[in-house]
Amino acid sequence: MSEGASKAQEKRKIQAIKGVRDILPPETALWNRVEQTAHEVFATYGFSEIRLPIFEETELFARSIGAETDVVSKEMYSFDDRDETSISLRPEATASVCRAYIQHNMQQLPQPVKLYYMGPMFRRERPQKGRYRQFYQIGAEVLSHTGDLKDDARVDAEVIEMLTTFFEKAGLEGTALYLNSIGCKECRPKYVELLRAALTKVKDKLGPDSQRRIETNPLRVLDSKLESEQAIIEKLPRIAEHLCPDCLEEYTEVKKQLAMRGISYAQNFRLVRGLDYYMRTTFEITAPGLGSQNAVCGGGRYDGLVELLGGPPTKGIGFAIGTDRVILSLQDMRKLPVERALDVYVAWMGEKNYPAAVKIARRLREAGLAVELPPGEMKFGKALGLADKLGARYALIIGDDEVASGQFTVKRLEDGEQKKLGERELVAYLKAGEAP
Ligand code: HAM
């Protein structure tokens, strides 16, 4: 590189990587509110938080999500560690929860074990509104080695009830719940063959992706958004009509349990989900204002996954909420964040009065007030202008007279009302006028 070119390179503005974004204030206040809602609601259902690593052995995801899935075969950020173990940034967290369940012998704890997590996930998808390469999930999993089919259905329904409570408390309106059962290792292969046969008959009417999937994964054809395939898909055999007796019993019971809880849903035979570990109950929740990426939550049952990862036979059910999409939908509904308002702007004048300003600012902050103390001296007019711009409710004026008399001048910016108060009365006065 020539010297000129390397100079230009040095000056190049470095931007965040494609599909990865900064989440800025005041939007972060909305994120905190949504995450706080999850902490509170999930705790009322007896869930505890687990914090998981951001990266794991690639093998963990390949084995659980499935080596042939898009997520594992195309979308993972993988690299070789120095000892040449292949490592991947996590594309989801169910696999990690199961790994942790095994690693920490959680089968010895009272069952079921109910865990939730929140944090970033990574998938190298084509970025668009609501679809990012680093995105955030709030997820929960219930793992247990006990219980019969009826118990399982009750757990499924309770997990969905918790989700509806969460969305309600988060203020998300217009959500819709879609439900399906994708059978088990007994009945699904038979259905897949039936589906493959039906698809083969209409092969020349399908697009190239679906034609390929007849061989690789016929279930994924049901996922197709291609306009020309929609009428064909409507006529394909539906898995709910080909469930084995156990799967049918659980599916029927889940629907009964949801009805008993007053939760409305629509059955969607096309809901097959893109991860291999699912069996029986699968569900998705959509929200308005998101365009084509309108799924704000996906989940389902995954009995057998813990076993597949080398643990004891274990049942599992869980979900993950796409936090980015929840935020987008809330913003679309104009449910904008309310950031903590600034209570007091300290307009101090005269270098020698700065220590007094520091002292009073600390005192007010200790009392729980939000205080802005500018580091440099400012003209009175400029300080008031800034206080106004920052939305402060009060300006506290500290100059020679105030320091000498111990009486501070406080100005309510809304109406200009001014008072002179000693330190103790000042705290009481500001606290009384605090925003709710
Ligand atoms: P998933 O359907 O792959 O399931 O993802 C769950 C949710 O994460 C989606 O409904 C969506 O809201 C959000 N999401 C996924 N990919 C992106 C992306 N690229 N950008 C923005 N949001 C995205 C799972 O991950 C399973 N682990 C859920 C689960 C837990 N099943 C059982 N337990």
pLDDT in tens, the chain (436 residues): 566 666 666 789 999 999 999 999 989 999 999 999 999 999 999 999 999 999 999 999 999 999 888 999 999 999 999 999 999 999 999 999 999 999 999 999 999 999 999 999 999 999 999 999 999 999 999 999 998 999 999 999 999 999 999 999 999 999 999 999 999 999 999 999 999 999 999 999 999 989 999 998 899 899 888 899 999 999 999 998 999 999 999 999 999 999 999 999 999 999 988 888 999 999 999 999 999 889 999 999 999 999 999 999 999 999 999 999 999 999 999 877 777 789 999 999 999 999 999 999 999 999 999 999 999 999 999 999 999 999 999 999 999 999 999 999 999 999 999 999 999 999 999 998 765 4
Phi, psi of 101 (to 5 degrees): -60, -45
Pocket (CB within 6 angstroms of ligand 1): 92, 94, 123, 125, 130-132, 135, 137, 139, 141, 295-300, 302, 318-320, 322, 324-325
Picking from 22, 39, 31, the residue whose alpha carbon sits closest to that of residue 134 is 22
CA of 14 to the centre of ligand 1 (A): 29
User: pTM for the complete prediction?
Assistant: 0.93
Q: How far is the CA of 414 from the centre of ligand 1 (A)?
A: 46
Instruction: Report which protein residue has its CA nearest ligand 1's atom 33.
Output: 318
Strand stretches in 290-431, DSSP E: 295-301, 315-322, 344-348, 371-372, 394-398, 408-412, 418-421
Question: Residue 413: helix, strand or coil by DSSP?
Answer: coil
Which residue has its alpha carbon closest to ligand 1 atom 30?
A: 319
Nearest CA owner, ligand 1 atom 16: 131
Q: Which of 71, 92, 296 to mutate to test the pocket of ligand 1 (most atoms within 8 A of CB)?
A: 92
Atom of ligand 1 nearest to the CA of 94: 27
- Edge-to-edge strands, sheet with 295-301: 48-49, 113-122, 134-144, 315-322, 295-301, 279-286, 176-181, 266-267
CA of 193 to the centre of ligand 1 (A): 28
Residue 218, preceding peptide bond in cis (omega within 30° of 0) = no
* Alpha carbon distance 326, 332 (integer Å): 10
Put residue 147 in one of left, alpha, beta given phi > 0 → left and psi -120 to 50 → alpha: left
55 by DSSP, 3-state: which?
strand
**Two tokens, residue 93:** 């967290």
